[in-house]
Structure 1
Amino acid sequence: MNIRLWYLTHKWTSLLCTIFLLMLCLTGLPLIFHEEIEHFSGVVEAPLMAADTPDASLDAIVTAAKQARPNDVIQFMFWDAEEHPHITQVSMSERMDTPPDEFKTVLLDSRTANILDVPPPDKGFMYIMLKLHTDMFAGLPGTLFLGLMGLLFVAAVVSGIVLYQPFMRKLDFGTVRKEKSQRLKWLDVHNLIGIVTIVWVLVVGITGSINTLSQIIIAIWQQDQMAEMLQPYKNLPPPTSTGSLEKAMQTARQAVPDMHPSFVAFPGSMFSSPHHYTIFMKGNTPLTSRLLKPALIDTTTSELTDTRDMPWYVKTLLLSQPLHFGDYGGLPLKMLWTLFDMFAIVVLGSGLYLWWGRRKHTDKRISELEQLHLDFAVDLKEPK
């Protein structure tokens, strides 16, 4: 592919995705610090107790949650020991097939089974930022559209790398021609910041595109591995009652001793079957804590039905999520992610400025070849 085709690729992929990428960068800034924002906004925390205080029975927590919302059913139960220690989050709704946006939450103390809070559905600032960033309030079509914009962004970055070499042919690295026109100065800044942040933008762009496929990837897993694990129960009538969650958890811990629970999908919910508690376990290291391993526990007998490592495509999704938001290395990494995010905003904004300036101020006497030289210095003649 010659320089002109690379230039056209860079131009049009950039133009098509820039506005949406700016929106993603702006909404992504508060999402990087969502845990810290939650703490400052007054999210309830568990009271201080002795470090060796034992946890309450999960059956007691189930009973307390049902008392808090007697007309709802429990779909999921979550734990996040790092960000919210000693708190059990229970997601409830009117029906087992209720979509995630309509979940109602009950927060309980894991040690006493006391109810800490029954917050209303979150529709505040962080909810708006998350929805804009993930699907623009358009559901799966919006998510897939943003994934396409992410792929166009990756194409724009790759074509920009190709064009950078001829642009720098007669310039030292990092040169910003302050003595030239305002547009040329911004062109140099645009290219310099773009090449310096190239690894980060590729990582964030690729992982972001992978994340937009999460619903499709999970659906494939449900139709593939999950269906195979549930095959022995396919034609059995649903049980009339469910057994002890505490016993199911003990079975899961024994079956997967080197991991600890991340969340439970209750019988009949989207990640389980009417016959099972599906307990998703996670590892204890920075890497394995991002990976999940389901353990299917029969609700009637509390015995293990099956447990398997997730397939490669689900592991790819699970590992791409923390890379995208930079939330696996503590506050220093979040600060670095914020800095790179702001650099990306400058690159995207300067790209729009350069395009608009060209449309507004291009001299009609400049030939097409000279115009390419003005933008990317591919001609032998230096721009005046």
Structure 2
Amino acid sequence: MTSRQILAWAWVHKWSSLVCTVFMLLLCLTGLPLIFHHEIGHLLGTEVEAPEMPVGTPRANLDRVLEAARERHPAKLPQFVVADADDDAILFVTLGDSPTDDKNQKTVVVDSRTAAVLAEPKFDEGFMYWMFKLHVDLFAGLPGTLFLGFMGLLLVVAIVSGVVLYEPFMRKLEFGTVRHERSTRVRWLDLHNLLGIVTLCWAFVVGFTGVINTLGEPLFKFWQFSEVSEMIAPYAGKPPPTELGSLQQAVSASDALEPEMKLGFVAFPGTFFSSAHHFSVFMRGTSPLTARLFKPVLVDAQTAKVTDSRELPWYLKALLVSQPLHFGDYGGMPLKVLWALFDIVTIIVLGSGLYLWWVRRRVPLEQRAGLVPATAEGAA
């Protein structure tokens, strides 16, 4: 690599790192408790648990489940019924002032076997809510999400440029060397380089999946504009139904179409994931991987007949797979612990990067790259 190329890559690494580091520190700090959100929820008493019942206890009619939730808020309209990913006995029923209302929503947790209301959790308050909102959109909605996505993209650039620079910056040292006899700055530089290489793959995976996750809303809107519009084309010009048919019949029709899958969630007519004329029943697989992937089944909201069903496009599958991978939510507690350890090490890498920039901001770039003789402190 020529001297000019080294200087160019060093400039890219410096500024991509500096611009995104503060925000990456925020994401690492807020992401750490989110890795253990279920466990923290149990400690705080915010996780809902269904009572123990014999295996094979039959499920209640979903119309009864919906009725139980609506009795709590009779003036509101149903928007979603979501099956808990870890416990099939728990259903979350979300209601709002209108199908698209996202400001005054209420969520009622109902036992899927008895149709008994278990709780009415508040998802817009508490420690974990603050951590989630800071991590996802900085309390700024979609603009905040896309901004963090751009910061994640800069992190990926910083990682790639750091890998390119690792060899010329460390060519006189053996891998993993930390020069303890040198100054504090040099020791931190060596440690920064070592930890950066050790966490390379993890940081790239988490950074890249994080960028993908920030595109969730635009990708779903594109899917609605392209494929969903084709699926609902026969209903163009028809007035929306004034009364909805049976939720249970809609889900039963989806079960009959996809007997090897199980219910993920139902979007009611007029909501973000559906049309004005359909229940959108999203079925999911049963294996650790396919459980993250959904297949939408459009069911006529009045007749409960299936009108269309298609596989999700590749970009939505990539999004759905990346979401749990981002938080290490595939391999149970061992993977969560590993994710947390890498998260902590990455915090050290980011913090040390800021420290090194601060103490070396007046050292010429040529000297840092080893292109001119070093001063008394030396350049790594």
TM-score by length of 2: 0.95
Task: Give the aligned CA root-mean-square deviation in angstroms.
Answer: 1.5
Is the counterpart of residue 351 in structure 1 residue 348 in structure 2? no
1:331-357 Cα distance to aligned partner (Å, 9 max, x none): 100000000000110000000000111
Q: Mark the CA change 1:113 to 1:358 in structure 2 (over 3 Å): closer, same or farther.
A: same
What is the identity, as a one-letter code, of the residue corresponding to 1:197?
T
Q: Counterpart in 2 of 1:34?
A: 37
Q: Counterpart in 1 of 2:261?
A: 259
What is the identity, as a one-letter code, of the residue corresponding to 1:369?
E
Residue among 241, 244, 250 paired with 1:248: 250
Stretches of structure 2 lacking an aligned partner (at least 5 in a row) = none
Q: Which moved more, 1:24-33 or 1:269-278?
A: 269-278
Residue among 321, 324, 329 paired with 2:323: 321
How far apart in 1 are the matches of 2:365 and 2:299? 68
Q: Counterpart in 1 of 2:7?
A: 4
Residue among 54, 66, 77 paired with 1:73: 77
Cα contact 1:103–1:121 (8 A) shared by 2:
no
SS in 2 for 1:164: helix
How far apart in 1 are the matches of 2:218 and 2:71? 35
Cα contact 1:194–1:347 (8 A) shared by 2:
yes
Report 1:171-186 matches (<5 A).
Answer: 171-186=173-188
**How many residues matched?**
373
Stretches of structure 1 lacking an aligned partner (at least 5 in a row) = none
Is the counterpart of residue 223 in structure 1 residue 225 in structure 2? yes
Q: Mark the CA change 1:381 to 1:325 in structure 2 (over 3 Å): closer, same or farther.
A: same
TM-score by length of 1: 0.94
Report 1:163-178 matches (<5 A).
Answer: 163-178=165-180
Cα offset for 1:159? Answer: 0.6
Cα offset for 1:95? Answer: 1.1
Q: Mark the CA change 1:4 to 1:81 in structure 2 (over 3 Å): closer, same or farther.
A: closer
What is the identity, as a one-letter code, of the residue corresponding to 1:127?
Y
Cα contact 2:123–2:129 (8 A) shared by 1:
no
Cα offset for 1:44? Answer: 2.5
Identity %: 54
* Deviating 4+ runs (over 3 angstroms): 377-384
How far apart in 2 are the matches of 1:120 and 1:350? 38
Q: Mark the CA change 1:61 to 1:368 in structure 2 (over 3 Å): closer, same or farther.
A: closer
Is the counterpart of residue 59 in structure 1 residue 56 in structure 2? no
How far apart in 2 are the matches of 1:30 and 1:321? 16
Is the counterpart of residue 86 in structure 1 residue 96 in structure 2? no
How far apart in 1 are the matches of 2:347 and 2:143? 25
How far apart in 2 are the matches of 1:343 and 1:367? 28
Cα offset for 1:237? Answer: 1.4
Report 1:94-113 matches (<5 A).
Answer: 94-99=97-102, 102-113=104-115
